[in-house]
Amino acid sequence: MNDQVVSNHDFRSGVAMASDWQDAVAEVLVQLGEPAAAHRLGIFYVSHHFASSLNQIEVFLRQTTGVPHWAGISGHGVLGGVHEYFDEPAIAAMLLPLDENGFRVFSGVTDDADPAVNGAAEWMEAAVMPLVVTHADPSNELLAPLIEDMALETGGFLFGGLGAASGAGSSVISNHEPVENELSGVMISPTAVEIATGLSQGCTPIGPVRTITSAEDNVIFQIDGRPALDVFKEDIGELLARDLQKVGGYIFAALPVEGSDTQDYLVRNMVGVDPQHGVIAIGAAVDAGSRILFCRRDPKAAMEDMNRMLLDIKKRVDGRPIKGGLYISCAARGPNQFPKECTETHMIEQALGAFPLIGFFANGEISRDRLYAYTGVLALFL
């Protein structure tokens, strides 16, 4: 199975599914067509089935196309055009017609941003808030502070995602080399191509924003001066409060992003409740004074928020042609959240029209300077 080649302003994309990577990449190359001299950068994504062959795939793409610079990652699946291949062997690729002064490929970021910014200060000053397409190995335990450091040191807007869990293959590739435990990717200057981004949440708040008044690490003892579990039960409603076994995978904690002008929040898993002591535990360390609210995972609300994001980005595009795009969706979305196949890619095309688009299903999503979950992040090249 494959998609039809889509080319607009010489951004080109292709996607194909096949049982072996040689057949999949051969079909993708047919869709991409003969590269032009302007194609100096390629981005590609593979499903975790091909993670162990990521380096071979990059070498084959580079040598066959003549495009010298590539960045890529393996995820739980890939998408391209209006197709989504979740947990199926597939490859998606895009050729970007950018002058080599318009981007910088980076790798080697494991504990601080120095490897990405060393020697690039002059370029970053001229780039003025580049889009930092960021591919991350989830095995790195410093990802959250690393993402913040990258945003600060590059002065850029981070966009990207985490690869598949290590056991399923989390390979990341940059500068022709497979890397582990790293952030890598490519910084793209808005002086080379204009960029618009959007983020859609997959969960919906169900209670007010509250204040944590006592906590240690990820265990919350009190919220608004009351036992945390009492507040949790109050917010989720009497029906769920009667049987807390039903909240798993449906109710989540959300940490509001300080200073956000869009009421943004970071969704984190509920990892435990202790009825005897009235405490709860979430998938993030918190402190007294931190804000918190609770939310539910709701397919209908997720589609509504996706439409909201697409409408907002359409207004900002303001009729200009979209040259290409990247879309990264949480692995908990796609067929795990939406009732119909390829819901998200069809929604994107319906709202914005057909244009070269690729992406992957991630183990966590990156936007601006934060690591998200249960979200979809979109970047458009204008």
The per-residue pLDDT for 80 is: 97
**Which of helix, strand or coil describes residue 81?**
coil
Domain final residue, candidates 297, 322, 342: 297
- Domain assignment present for residue 254? The answer is yes
- Domain assignment present for residue 209? The answer is yes
Same domain? For 127 and 161 the reply is yes
Q: What is the CATH number of the domain that holds 225?
A: 2.40.30
- Domain assignment present for residue 166? The answer is yes
User: Tens of pLDDT along 104-131?
Assistant: 999 889 999 999 999 888 898 888 899 9
Same domain? For 166 and 112 the reply is yes
The per-residue pLDDT for 50 is: 94
Domain final residue, candidates 246, 277, 297: 297
Show the low-confidence residues of the chain (pLDDT under 50).
Answer: 1-5, 7-8, 167-170
- Domain assignment present for residue 47? The answer is yes
**Which of helix, strand or coil describes residue 267?**
strand
Same domain? For 170 and 312 the reply is yes
Domain final residue, candidates 297, 325, 348: 297
The per-residue pLDDT for 166 is: 54
* Number of separate helices (H) and strands (E) present in the chain: 9, 28
Domain that holds residue 278: 203-297
Same domain? For 10 and 44 the reply is yes
- Domain assignment present for residue 229? The answer is yes
- Domain assignment present for residue 98? The answer is yes
Residue position matching structure tokens 């370029």 = 123
Residues in the chain: 382
CA 101, CA 221: separation in Å to the nearest integer? 52
Same domain? For 77 and 192 the reply is yes
Same domain? For 166 and 19 the reply is yes
Same domain? For 285 and 138 the reply is no
- Cα 197–chain centre separation: 12
- Domain assignment present for residue 192? The answer is yes
- Domain assignment present for residue 366? The answer is yes
Domain count, the chain: 2
- Cα 234–chain centre separation: 33
The per-residue pLDDT for 2 is: 47
69-75 and 41-47: which strand pairing?
A: parallel
The model's pTM: 0.89
Same domain? For 214 and 278 the reply is yes
Who contacts 237 (Cβ-Cβ below 8 Å, separation ≥6)? 206
Same domain? For 287 and 313 the reply is no
Same domain? For 71 and 154 the reply is yes
Same domain? For 321 and 186 the reply is yes
Same domain? For 78 and 105 the reply is yes
The DSSP line for 7-53 is: EETTEEEEEEE-SSHHHHHHHHHHHH-SPPTT--EEEEEEEGGGGGG
The per-residue pLDDT for 3 is: 47
